[in-house]
Structure formats: C-alpha cells, structure tokens
Structure 1
Amino acid sequence: MNSLKTNNAPHSSVVVPHFVFGSISFFLLAILIILAGENLFSAYFNNKILAITHIAVLGWATMIVFGSLYQLIPIVFETKLYSEKLAKFTFWITVLSILMLTYSFWIGAYLTLLVYSSVMLFFSVTLFVLNVLLSYKNAALKNIASKFIITAVIWLFLTGLLGLLIALNFRFNFFNEIHLHYLKIHATLGLVGWFLQLIIGVGSTLLPMFLISHKLNYKKLSVSYYLINSGLLMLVFNWFLFQIEILTWISWILIFLGILFFVSFIYDSYKKRIRKKLDIGMQYSMLAITSIGLPIVISFVLLIGFNLEFELLSRITVLYGFSIIFGFITSLILGQTYKTLPFIIWLNKYKDLVGKTKTPLPRELYSAKIATVQYYFYIVFIICIPIGFLSTTNWIVSIGSYALLAVSILYNINVLKIIFHKVKNIQNE
C-alpha cells in the first residue's frame, strides 16, 4: 500500500464526497429496486428500469469511479490533478443532475425535467473530462494503463453527448431511427467504452499491486486495448450507418478477444501473486473478474436471438444489463472500496504520525465482520435475481432485492466508519 502514497495526491475533501454520495446512491438503488416490484419484469425501456439503471451507473458506479480516479491520477499519470477546485464544483453539479435525471425517469417527465437534467449532466461530464485530460497533458508516465483511462474518458464524453441528444430528441424529434436504437448505442458506449476500459486501466494497475505480482506480460493489455477499441468503433459506426449483421458479429468477436486478453493478464497476476490469502476486498475483485463471462454469454444469446418471444427477450436484455452493472462493475467497486478508501482516510489522518507513534493499519478502519456478512448477502443477491428473472418468480426476486438492501446498509455502515474514524495516537513503548 505504500506505493499509493504520493505527494501529488489530492486533498481528501476532493475524493471523500464522491464515496459518500455513491454510498447513498447505492442505498437508494436498492430501495428503487424494491419499489419497482413487477416492473422489473417489464420491457427494459420502461420508466422504472431506466431510473434504476441511471442511479446505478451514474449515482453509484460513476460517482465512486470519479472519486477513485481523482485519487489514482497521481499514481497512474505520476502528476497532480489539474484542478481540485474544478473537481469540487463538478461534484455538486453532477449530484444535482443525477438526482434530477433519476427522478425524471421515475415519473416519466421526458419532455421537461429529463431535458434540463441531461444538459446539466453533460456539462458536468465535460468538466470532469477536461480535468482528466489536462492532468494527462502534464503526465510523467504514459503507459498502457493511462491509455486505457484516457480512452475511457473520451468514450464517457461521447456517451454523455449521445445521452443528451436522446433526451433532446424526446422533445424535438430529429432522429431518423426509434429511440431504442440509439439507447442501445448509448448503453454500449457507456458499458464497454467507459466502464470496461476504465476498469481495465485501473485494474491492471491496482490488482497486481494489491496481489503483489511481478514479471507480468503487459503486451496482453496492449493487444486488449486495440481489440476492444477497434471492435467498439466498428460496432458504433455499423449501428449508426450500415447495420450490417456480419459487422456486428466481427465487432463482438474483437471485443470478446480483447476481454479475454485482459482476463488472461489478471489470471497471470493471480497465479504469480506473493500475497496468497485474499482479504474481503480482493475476494470481491476476483468475483468481478470471474463474473465477466456471464454478460459475454448473454450478449451472444441476444445476437443470435433464437427466435425468442419479445417478453423473454426483454427479460434477457435486463439480465444482460444486470450482469454487467452488478456482477462485474458493482462487485469490483465494493471490493476496491475496501482497498482504497481506508488508505485515503488513513493517509489523511496519520501521515504526520508515521514513525512518531504506533498507528493502525488501513484495514483496521473498517469492520471485517460487517464486510464479510455483506459479501454473503451479495452472493444471495446475484444468485436470486437471475433465477427470479428467468423464471418470472417474484418472491425469488424479492429475496434478492432485500439482500441487496442489506448489502447497501452494511456497506454504508462501513463507509461511514472509515470516513469518521477517530485518530488513535498510541505511543510506542
């Protein structure tokens, strides 16, 4: 963990609010899933599912990622964040726009509140992107990990732009195709362009460091980078301009192979690790890596179609989003929270006491028992929801939904425990 210590690190007041709002959004997400009830079995473009999806990917995942990235820029780029004031301003604009956007979807205010909140959100995303790009301009280190991160940030900008255009189209109706066509592209840009590539960039730096792995083949990451981005570019251009089925298949194969190279890199890191015992944070992280196979399989099923009925196809589509957002992204965030946030708070509270007095370890800032119970509730959640979806069994989905609520409550308890940790000054004997 010492390699995370850097004089370039931003003040904790830049990073911590993102974790606080992300944690609250996680709790709200669990509540909305329970309130949605049987709407979860409806078409994936209904109001409730769109609201749940956006509080999940924006309020929960993206806000945690923003905060984490501000902390990790000095490590991955070896430079200071361009502007801490801009990061703080961006935070508040993003919070307000996410709450407005989620509420607008929930009540179906497509012609009014959705438009205003989308404009605000795109503005905040643009500020975030500029802050990261200007930080990268001064970077001392420009390796494959930083290339993944910068590319992900550019895809985020394009995701936000298309999202804004979709929102405006509800009011001004200027698109040639139906909304669902552009919604598919918007989701793919966000999940593959933004989240997947950011996770690869950050994960290829942090996971080997936490596992203490050396002599890894970083050429695999370079191959992964070009495969994923060439596949995604082909897919987007094809969906916008041509809609040729064979090009969709080629794109899927390229992205699939790119993911395999990344997974192979992480597997090598796992095999060569010096730290054999995995703590709760790394258990979550390994769960995320292993679960990446499910959305690949589901996307393959969706491409083939199998002449499935529309109702079943809609449920499988929702399950596809679930497998990425919860099986992969959320698992990784839950795990890495327990690796990064304790160190951020520990560094802020104890950096001046190191060598002068005995200090607790970062992992002692949270309750390992609570984190472990949380992990088992999460396993219940990710097992019950797919089974309940495919069988349309409401009581199984309810069990999974309340399990997620328990996860969110336990997670919030530990996050607050970390953030409000009181300094323990124990003199050396």
Structure 2
Amino acid sequence: MSRLPFLFIITGIVGFVMYHAFSLLSLTGWLGDELRGPEGWFHAHLFVLGWATMLAMGAVYQLIHVILQTNIYSAVLGYCHYFLFTVGATGMLIGFIRTDVIWIAGSATLALSGILLFGLNMGITLYRASIWNPVTISAACACLYLVLTGLSGMLMGLNFAFGDWNGLHQRLFGAHIWMGTLGWFGMLITGFSYKMLPMFYLSHDFSIRLQKMVLVLWNAAVITGVIAFLTGIQGGLLWFALLLLTGALICYVYHLEQIQEKRHKSNPGPGIRWTVYVSRALLVYSMALLIYSAQDVELLLDSRVVLLTGWVYLGGWVSLTILGYASKIVPFLWWTHKYGKLAGRPGTPLMAGMLSEKRINHGILAMVAASLLLVSGILINLAEVMMVGGTLLSMISIVYISNIALVFRR
C-alpha cells in the first residue's frame, strides 16, 4: 500500500479542520461579506484547495489503482506533485492573509506546477491502461478541468498584475469557478460513484447506459457555462447550462437507484447512504433554481443566488459526498496498510470495527441540519441565522472529521 494517498488524505483532513477553525474564529461572518476580497479568497481556497481537492487527489491516487488494476505511472511524480501543491496552496493562503500579490503569484505558480504534474501522471496512467468507460473517461475529464482551472487562475493573476486585457478578468473568473466546481468536482464524484457505489452495495448486472448520458450532459453543461462566461453572453447560455446540468442530475440520481435495485448488500454503511441522499437533494435544488430563474435568466447572476447555490453545491453536495466516502475509504486504506497481512490471525481487529457507523450517521445528520440552518439564513438574508448555522456546522464538522482521523490510531 503506497503512502502517497495517505499524505493527501491526512493533509486534507488538516485543511478541513483549519477551514472550520477559521470559520469559527470569524463566526462565519465572512459569508456575509464580499467574497471577492482577501478574506473571501482565503476561506474559499482553503476549502477548495486545502480540503476538498487535497483529499480528492489522495482518493484518485488510490482509486485509480482499483479501477485500472495497475499502478500509477510514477510515484515520484506523485510525491513531487504533493510537495509543490501543498507548499503552493499554503503560500497562497498566507498571501491572501498578507494581501501580498507577489507572494500569491509565486505560490500559485508552485500550486499550478503540482496540478500539471498530477494531470500528466494521471493522463499517462490512463493512456497506458487504455481502459475507456464512463468511469475512466469521467476521471480523465475531471483531471483536464482541474488543469484548465489552474491555468485560468494563473491567467487571472497575470491580468490582475498587468491589466492588459480589459474586461477579461471577470470573464476568466466565472470560467475558473465553473470549471473548478462543476468540471473537476462534478466529473470526479459522478465518475467514481459508478465504481464505489456498486462496490459497497455489492451490485451487479445493472445497465451503464445512463452513465454515458450523464457523461455527455455534464460535460455539455460545463462547456456551455465556460463559453457563456468567456464570451460574456451569460444569461441565456447559463440557463441552458443549468438545464443540461439538471438533465445530467436526473440521469445520475436515477442511475443510483438502478445500482441500489441490483444490490446484494442491504446496508453499505451510513456514509454511502448519505451520498445518495445529498445527490437527490442537489437535484431538487437544481430543478427549483431552473424554474425560479426561468422568469428572468439574469437572476442566476444575483449575488445572493450565487452565494446560496455555491454553498448548496460545494458546502452541501461536494463536501458531504467526500465526507461520506471518506468514512469508508479511510478505514479501508488504514486497515489494509496496517493489518492486511495479518488478516485472520488472533487479535487482528476487524475492518468493520475501525469506525463507528452510528457516529458517522449521527455526525452527517447533524451536519445536514446545521447546513440547512445556514442555507436558510442565506435565503432569508439574516446574518444571525447564518452565524448560528455556520458555527454549529463548523463545530460538528470538526468532531466528525476527528472521528475519522482517530482511525489512524487503531
């Protein structure tokens, strides 16, 4: 068992704790401020780079081995990627705190170099394996969108420093966010779910036709949104992108139901069940947003709608899905690493005993309740409700991730 996935996963856990610790210090007041400023940049990048992307990269390094039944192209490139990305992301966060443009630019270059190494490593690994299906194609698309997100972020930095391209900064910013959220996280989660849910449900003989439809519709939504932002023709094209995304979500959620119908295991664990629940919730929100914005497509660009949607998607679906999968992935990786060769011997702990399912279920339920309170505060634009919901969410989240981190002591 390679130590590389553990480096990313443990660092991601640290980033998750730091994000919620800083949120507690500000009583999540930063959510009500202008996000296009140093404090908003700091919290957004700590969440996206320090927590979600860091842990997702660790999962990719491990799961790509499971999917392809082959090792990654180069472990050395993986370690170089970890060093550059971690140092770069940390430096960017320090730069945001110091509001030091030079520091941010230098650190962003290191982080981008790490992302490029990651994309190269995964690209060669997938190409050499030559196993092309919705899972591997989704993984390839996710890595491509991550690279493009990094490159667009670098272009934004150059534009900010030199200001040569009038009006381009705002358009690059929209494309940067769209590719990073819908492209990288969306394609990665949907693609890996096609492998992980059947594995945990012990499902067989289900059709993969809807996987192909999700792949086409989700990519179409990402590309349409990027075109909308880069061309400045946002309203109508963005609504069409949302329509495509909603169609992709309908196919995705229905396919998850197909997987469950073919299951041979009734209880895959609470973390896995919650990944299905939050996917259904995202579909409901996407449909509601589609109907709401049909009266005026410009509503999609309203700051309150953007904040609410960003939190539902990133703070809700992405974060809770990663946390749900982590409740299975982390105990499995650690048990295999520490006890795999001792399986069956007296005194060897069972994998099922590494982490309490009851605590996982209660923890995610509490995070969902706190998230709903926070979302309600955003919806009604009441800072006090946002503060209470956000504070509760951060406290519960730290307790939840601590339970997962304690697996490494067993």
Q: TM-score, normalised by structure 1?
A: 0.88
In 1, Cα distance between equivalents of 2:217 and 2:62:
28
Q: What is the aligned partner in structure 2 of residue 3 from structure 1?
A: none
Give the stretch that moved more between structures: 154-163 or 264-273. Answer: 264-273
In the TM superposition, residue 73 of structure 1 has moved relative to its aligned partner by: 0.9
In 2, Cα distance between equivalents of 1:222 and 1:314:
34
Pair 1:51-2:42 in alignment? yes
Counterpart secondary structure, 2:342: coil
Where do 1:338-417 residues align within 5 Å?
Answer: 338-357=327-346, 359-417=348-406
Q: What is the aligned partner in structure 2 of residue 167 from structure 1?
A: 157
| Preserved CA contact (<8 Å) 2:61 2:72 | yes
In 1, Cα distance between equivalents of 2:91 and 2:152:
18
Residue identity opposite 1:127 in structure 2: L
1:310-342 Cα shifts (integer Å, max 9, x gaps):
9xx322211111111121011111111111111
Q: Structure 1 307/321 Cα, relative in aligned 2: closer, same or farther at 3 Å?
A: closer
| Preserved CA contact (<8 Å) 2:256 2:276 | no
| Preserved CA contact (<8 Å) 1:81 1:132 | yes
1:49-92 Cα shifts (integer Å, max 9, x gaps):
22211111111111111101111111212211111122122112
Q: What is the aligned partner in structure 1 of residue 32 from structure 2?
A: 41
Residue identity opposite 2:387 in structure 1: S
In the TM superposition, residue 254 of structure 1 has moved relative to its aligned partner by: 2.3
Identify unmatched segments of 5+ residues in structure 2: none
Where do 1:144-155 residues align within 5 Å?
Answer: 144-155=134-145
Counterpart secondary structure, 2:341: coil
| Preserved CA contact (<8 Å) 2:239 2:300 | no
Q: TM-score, normalised by structure 2?
A: 0.92
Pair 1:266-2:256 in alignment? yes
In 2, Cα distance between equivalents of 1:303 and 1:116:
43
Number of equivalent positions: 408
Where do 1:200-279 residues align within 5 Å?
Answer: 200-241=190-231, 243=233, 245-279=235-269
In the TM superposition, residue 352 of structure 1 has moved relative to its aligned partner by: 1.4
Pair 1:82-2:73 in alignment? yes
Please point out which of 91, 94, 104 is paired with 2:85.
94
Residue identity opposite 2:106 in structure 1: Y
Q: What is the aligned partner in structure 2 of residue 7 from structure 1?
A: none
In the TM superposition, residue 133 of structure 1 has moved relative to its aligned partner by: 0.9
Counterpart secondary structure, 2:30: helix
| Preserved CA contact (<8 Å) 2:5 2:61 | yes
Q: Structure 1 295/39 Cα, relative in aligned 2: closer, same or farther at 3 Å?
A: same
In 2, Cα distance between equivalents of 1:211 and 1:273:
5
Where do 1:170-209 residues align within 5 Å?
Answer: 170-177=160-167, 179-209=169-199
| Preserved CA contact (<8 Å) 2:138 2:215 | yes
| Preserved CA contact (<8 Å) 1:58 1:98 | yes
Pair 1:156-2:154 in alignment? no
In the TM superposition, residue 295 of structure 1 has moved relative to its aligned partner by: 5.1
Counterpart secondary structure, 2:121: helix
| Preserved CA contact (<8 Å) 1:166 1:182 | yes
Please point out which of 105, 110, 133 is paired with 1:115.
105
Q: Structure 1 307/355 Cα, relative in aligned 2: closer, same or farther at 3 Å?
A: closer
Give the stretch that moved more between structures: 153-162 or 28-37. Answer: 28-37
Counterpart secondary structure, 1:215: coil
In 2, Cα distance between equivalents of 1:298 and 1:107:
40
1:320-371 Cα shifts (integer Å, max 9, x gaps):
1111112101111111111111111111112212244463322311233442
Q: What is the aligned partner in structure 1 of residue 18 from structure 2?
A: 28
Pair 1:73-2:64 in alignment? yes
In 2, Cα distance between equivalents of 1:230 and 1:308:
22
Residue identity opposite 1:341 in structure 2: V
Give the stretch that moved more between structures: 144-153 or 132-141. Answer: 132-141
In 1, Cα distance between equivalents of 2:36 and 2:286:
21
In 2, Cα distance between equivalents of 1:41 and 1:302:
22
Q: What is the aligned partner in structure 2 of residue 327 from structure 1?
A: 316
CA-atom RMSD in angstroms: 2.4
| Preserved CA contact (<8 Å) 2:77 2:117 | yes
Counterpart secondary structure, 1:176: coil
Counterpart secondary structure, 2:35: coil
1:195-252 Cα shifts (integer Å, max 9, x gaps):
1001111011101211122221201111111122233223323432362754444333
In the TM superposition, residue 125 of structure 1 has moved relative to its aligned partner by: 0.3
In the TM superposition, residue 14 of structure 1 has moved relative to its aligned partner by: 0.7
| Preserved CA contact (<8 Å) 1:41 1:315 | no
Counterpart secondary structure, 1:29: helix
Counterpart secondary structure, 1:213: coil
In 2, Cα distance between equivalents of 1:265 and 1:53:
31
| Preserved CA contact (<8 Å) 2:49 2:89 | yes
Query: Structure 1 vs Structure 2: percent identity of aligned residues?
Result: 24
In the TM superposition, residue 135 of structure 1 has moved relative to its aligned partner by: 1.1
Counterpart secondary structure, 2:164: coil
In 2, Cα distance between equivalents of 1:64 and 1:152:
15
Q: Name whichever structure is richer in helix by fraction.
A: 2
Q: What is the aligned partner in structure 2 of residue 4 from structure 1?
A: none
Q: What is the aligned partner in structure 1 of residue 273 from structure 2?
A: 283
In 1, Cα distance between equivalents of 2:288 and 2:14:
30
